[in-house]
Amino acid sequence: MFQTYSKRQLPPFYAQVQIIKTPKARVVSIDGKHWEIQYEHISRNQGMLLQFGSKPIKSYIRVAEIIEHELNVFALPPTADRDDIDKHILEIQDFIKTVTLPFPAKDLFEYWLLDAKNERPLALIFSCCEAHKIPSFPEKTAWTALPASIMTIESTEQEKATETPPVNYRLETLVNKRAGFKPKAKWFNRYTDTSESFPNLLVSNDWEDEYENDLYTRYIEHQSPRLLTLHCLDHSERSHLEECAKTHALEVERFYRLYPEVINQPVINGIRVEARMRQAVLNQSLQSNHKRYRQQ
């Protein structure tokens, strides 16, 4: 009854999303802590399509969320079957308590922006789990970096003084410039395209210019807590990212449940201890501010 798998959230790469599917519902989580339950819903217009023999587009409505096993049920549209939805919610809640994370990666069909010089994979744009869904994707020929509003990379003093754009934006510009004036992108099947070389960190690390390599390095180091959720990393890549993640303790604590493997467990344990200490200080500060506000 329950199908479990994970896939990369793209574009841009945000996390390795965990997915649970049933015949009538799907459940998604980007951190293994917060699960959103979505139930298949046929609207009144779609019901009319069914009467005329047409197949409606499958759509879902948000019906509940589970945060650290605590259930919060949402209001439903009048046409929704409350009893059936409640039954599914309880079954899903019980199932989540039994799962082992992360789920296996299923999105092995990949759409890569190509390097203009050699037409080799340069940066990952899309991925999907089933070949028949490929035609539904747009023919996008540009790579998108995780924006600074989501992942802020500290600027140097010189960059601040000259009001230089964020690292994220500058790397995005470099990658798309490297794809050429008439950029090309191509779908690959990881089942069969075994002779091709794919950048495991989802964007090429082949940057010879010192400035370009610095942008790439800073971006990847800051993204390390999220990249550690990937299933395709080799031993050296994972070990390097674990070291990079030392300065991003709260992000590691958020995504740790989804790491397929840990190379240096003492390093990760130390990062998580720091995260809990920082969170405790933050919570204490918030409580103090709240108390001060109520006294005013």
User: Measured between alpha carbons, how far is residue 129 from residues 10, 21, 23, 219, 226 in Å?
Assistant: 13, 13, 17, 27, 20
What pLDDT does 192 receive?
A: 86
Residue with tokens 């309880």: 90
Query: Domains of the chain: which residue ranges?
Result: 3-96, 109-235
DSSP 2: -
Q: What is the pTM of this model?
A: 0.88
* Count of Cβ atoms closer than 10 Å to residue 197 Cβ: 8
Tally of CB atoms within 10 A around 280:
10
Cβ partners under 8 Å of residue 96, min gap 6: 20, 27, 35, 66, 69
Tell me the two tokens of residue 155: 């600027």
Per-residue pLDDT for the chain (296 aa), expressed as one digit of tens each?
Answer: 899 999 999 999 999 999 999 999 999 999 999 999 999 976 655 444 444 455 555 688 999 999 988 999 999 888 888 899 999 999 999 999 999 999 999 999 999 999 999 999 999 999 999 999 999 999 999 999 999 999 999 999 999 999 999 999 999 999 999 999 999 999 999 888 877 889 999 999 999 899 999 999 999 999 999 999 999 899 999 999 999 999 999 999 999 999 999 999 999 999 999 999 988 887 776 666 655 656 55
Judge if the upstream peptide bond of residue 12 is cis by omega within 30 degrees of 0: yes
Please give the C-alpha separations between residue 181 and each of 53, 114, 141, 169, in angstroms, as whole numbers: 47, 12, 11, 19
pLDDT, tens only, 3-51: 999 999 999 999 999 999 999 999 999 999 999 999 997 665 544 444 4
